[in-house]
Structure 1
Amino acid sequence: MTSQLEFAARSAFAQVLNAWRTRRGLSKKQLAASMGYHPSYISHVESLRHHPTFEFACRAEAVLASGNEIIEAYTGCLPTGALEPAARSGYEPSPMLPATIVIEDELATLTYTDDWYVCRVERLVRNVGDRPVTTCPVRIDVDRFPDQPGVSRQLYQERPLRLADLDFAAAAGEELMDVRVTRTSDAYLKLALVFGNARARFPLYPGEQTRVAYSYRVPASQYGQWFQREVRFPTRALTVSLRLPESLGAEVGAEVLSYAGIKSYTPTVAHADDGTVLHTMRMRELLLTSQVRLRWRFAAPRVSAPRAA
């Protein structure tokens, strides 16, 4: 029989979990999917029908980013050894759960120079799961005409987006990473960055973190005037920057799309000595599947007035 002390501890944990889930705007089903659990498992934990495990608490913390309040509720309230493993309840976590990887910090910068867009992304990646991570997924979106799908399709059929043309390179720490194409479409590529190369394999083991960096370039004729980062993993902090020549007189706006809707922002602006302008968005505690997007348009070319005869 469950003791009053244990019941009170589980109730306190469930209240903390519910409060943070509500604060992040996630349904029980959405949170369960993000953590890699059966859709009904969150409901069972919040209604005290199932005992949570320490792994469950860690995955909830990875997704909800409570500042360790969820972990403290678990370790501070629940008696040691009182909980059953999730596997015994029939809700074994998926080995492909998104919460296996947490992005502690990401800096993504797009630079326009000499009719090329050059993108560089740096991620501080941590493995919060219970098994080694061997790949890190990446998606490259470049749609030149996002509002004209027919025109866009024709462009990329004539000039397909190919990894070999992008000067793509990736590294984990000091080690180069192999790259595999997992899916292609008209205006995007899905890649898997491998924690390994021809010389060695270096999986990211549970509890470890490393800095993953990758870069590529796309001609302006194939790249639309937008730069977007989608939160596909729990992300503590995200910085999205756009560097453009000041002479082009670009107007830049920003927006964040999430479950809560669309919210517009004004990027910060910094003028550099090299004649460029850096437009930046810095966000924290983003909801999963949120999209942080910068859009811009260049000033129309100035046309000189005709001289009098």
Structure 2
Amino acid sequence: MPDDDDFPTEFKVFRDLRGHSQEALGKRLGYDRSYINKIENGKKRPPADFVRKADAILAAGGLLYRAWESDRRLEDQEQSTSDSAGIGHGLINEHEDTTLAYNDGEFVITVQRTLVNNSLEPVERYPIRISVNRYPDQPDRYKTLYRNDPLLWEEIQLEAHCNGEPMSWQVKADHDAIKELYLLFKNQKMQFPLYPGETAQIVYCFRVPARKWGPWFQRAIRLPTKKLTVTLDFPMDLSPAVWGKETTAAVYQMPFRTPIHRIVNGDRALYVWTTDDPPLDARYRLEWHFKADPEKENDIVQISPAQSMADLGIVQVGADILAHTALPFDLPAEAAEARRVITELHTCMARVQNVHVFSKGMGVAAPQINIPRAAAVVRTAAGELITLLNPRIIDATSEFDKQYEGCLSFFDVRGMVPRPLAIQVEHTDLNGTPHITTFQRGLARLVAHEIDHLEGRLYTDLMEPGVEPIPVEQYRGTGHDWKYH
């Protein structure tokens, strides 16, 4: 995707893929957990020797170093643009208006930026990156796809204009899935540098076959920007569903703060999202799912929500382990084993959160990652992590409500489940000390759902007679917390 920040993403994907916690990987690399966290959040750029060592430890086959080198080159290009422009930031992006449209097996991306030269020197070139990744959470498939079918300059068909004049361009890097270049403020007939105080409207357009794209589009803020608008333009007959999440220095991955507006224009569905004054280094990612026309499947291979969870290591419904009671821990004698299971649960949770936004909170139980032990982790809607060892519900209120729930082990549907509004749970810490905690409302629902898994139940076992789960496409609660009166 254009201007994606590759190294932090690839680093986190490989850490999760190899099953390392931030703390464990940090120790092997000679750094603390905080340093690893800053790298994954894009707040810290590591040195080359760190990247080479991480590449070897995580068996990334050189992909991490290539991603790091690619990011470094782009930063150098942007810095040279600012330096050549003189003082201050050099360029200011007054308004960026980007459109991604899908038609007949091809994505067409049009980027329009209104740039102001806020310096004392003329600007002669502007760096851009075109980056594609069909399998962001499957690095092995990513490498295989683009090694065998690389992104080609000929198929991109890049065109660029400045204030209506064609722009020449100069290649800076040519990789299988990444193209980096300068847009030049000139063409074969004339030069038109952007002088201090002047404004220019740059428009560039390129194409990518659907087989090389992925169901997401990301914008990274690399220049001071006053307004950002992104539009996704899809055929209505594909029944698209669109959502978005953002990453900034202050917060790691959360739903967009402003809504995505849907506009129907004939046989097209437009999804328009805008934000003002986005902070530098923020990343905004729109994702989509086509409830696909079968005739389009050769163009876009749709992965169902359940399959995406299976690919992330979540055991799916029908597996024998989901129907049996999990074995409790003998604590503190099995404290080391309990720590190992908890680490694996947190690692899996991080993988899942990287591909889906859980506005209501989420949880994972050990049987869901094929470990038959009585442990679960829950993440609240506010981001608090709760670890449960040997939990069991010892009391519940007589008051209950009905809400839709989803389950990572069959994520294609949502079901209406009655549950108590408050529960008391007895659980154990690593030292073997018992505790009793009261959970209420949405958190009670999350905790009860995970305890059900440890007792061999699914939420479908609790649904009222005659009530069936609905397809996730019909569910309208995505992106919202549960509602209580």
Determine if the alignment matches structure 1 residue 278 to structure 2 residue 273.
no
SS at match of 1:232: coil
Residue 253 of structure 1: aligned partner: 243
Residues 143 and 188, structure 1, Cα contact 8 Å, conserved in 2: no
Cα deviation per residue 1:208-256 (whole Å; 9 max; x = unaligned)?
Answer: 0110000011110001111111111111101011011111112110111
Point out the structure with max Rg over C-alpha: 2
Give the structure 1 partner of residue 288 of structure 2: 296
Aligned partners of 2:85 and 2:132: how far apart in 1? 27
- Aligned equivalent of 2:176, options 161, 169, 186: 186
Q: 8 Å contact 1:121–1:215 — kept in the other structure?
A: yes
Q: Give, in whole Å, the separation in 1 of the partners of 2:181 and 2:246.
A: 24
1:36-55 equivalences under 5 Å are: none
Q: Following TM superposition, by how much is the alpha carbon of 1:186 offset from its aligned partner in structure 2, in angstroms?
A: 3.3
Counterpart of 1:192 in structure 2: which amino acid? Y
State yes or no: 1:133 paired with 2:123.
Answer: yes
Whole-angstrom CA distance in 2 between matches of 1:171 and 1:95: 21
Residues 76-119 of structure 1: per-residue CA shift (max 9 Å, x gap) = xxxxxxxxxxxxxxxxx944788111100010000000010000
The equivalent residue for 2:145 is 155
Query: For residues 128 and 301 of structure 1, do their structure 2 counterparts lie closer, same or farther at Cα, with a shift above 3 Å needed?
Result: same
- Take 1:110 and 1:276, find their aligned partners in 2: how far apart are those partners? 13
Quote the offset at 1:263 in angstroms. Answer: 2.4
CA distance in 1, matches of 2:223, 2:174: 21
The Cα of 1:301 is off from its aligned counterpart by 5.4
Q: How many residues align?
A: 212
* Structure 1 gap ranges (5+): 1-29, 31-92, 303-309
**Distance in 2 between residues matched to 1:169 and 1:113, nearest whole Å:** 18
Q: Displacement of 1:170 after TM fit?
A: 0.1
Partner amino acid, structure 2, of 1:267: I
Q: Any unmatched runs of 5+ in structure 2? A: 1-41, 43-81, 295-485
The residue aligned with 2:260 is 267
Q: What is the SS of the residue equivalent to 2:211? A: helix
The alignment yields a C-alpha RMSD, in angstroms, of 2.2
Q: Letter of the 2:262 partner, please give it.
A: V
Match of 1:218 among 201, 205, 208: 208
State the secondary structure of the residue aligned to 1:165.
helix
Distance 1:100 1:163 in 2: 29
d(CA) in 2 for partners of 1:96, 1:155: 39
Please state how far the C-alpha of 1:288 moved relative to its aligned partner: 0.7
One-letter amino acid matched to 2:242: V
Q: TM-score, normalised by structure 2?
A: 0.42
CA contact 2:84–2:122 (8 Å) conserved in 1? no
Out of 190, 200, 214, the residue aligned to residue 190 of structure 2 is 200
Quote the sequence identity (%). 33
Higher relative CO (Cα under 8 Å, sequence separation at least 6) belongs to: 1
Residue 137 of structure 1: how far off its partner (Å)? 1.1
What are the superposed Cα offsets for residues 281-304 of structure 1, whole Å, 9 maximum, x if unpaired?
1011111111111101111557xx
After superposition, the Cα gap between the structure-2 partners of 1:96 and 1:182, relative to the gap in structure 1 and judged at 3 Å, is farther
The answer to whether the 8 A contact 2:110-2:204 is kept is yes
- Are residues 215 and 288 of structure 1, via their aligned partners in 2, closer, same or farther at CA, if it must alter by over 3 Å? same
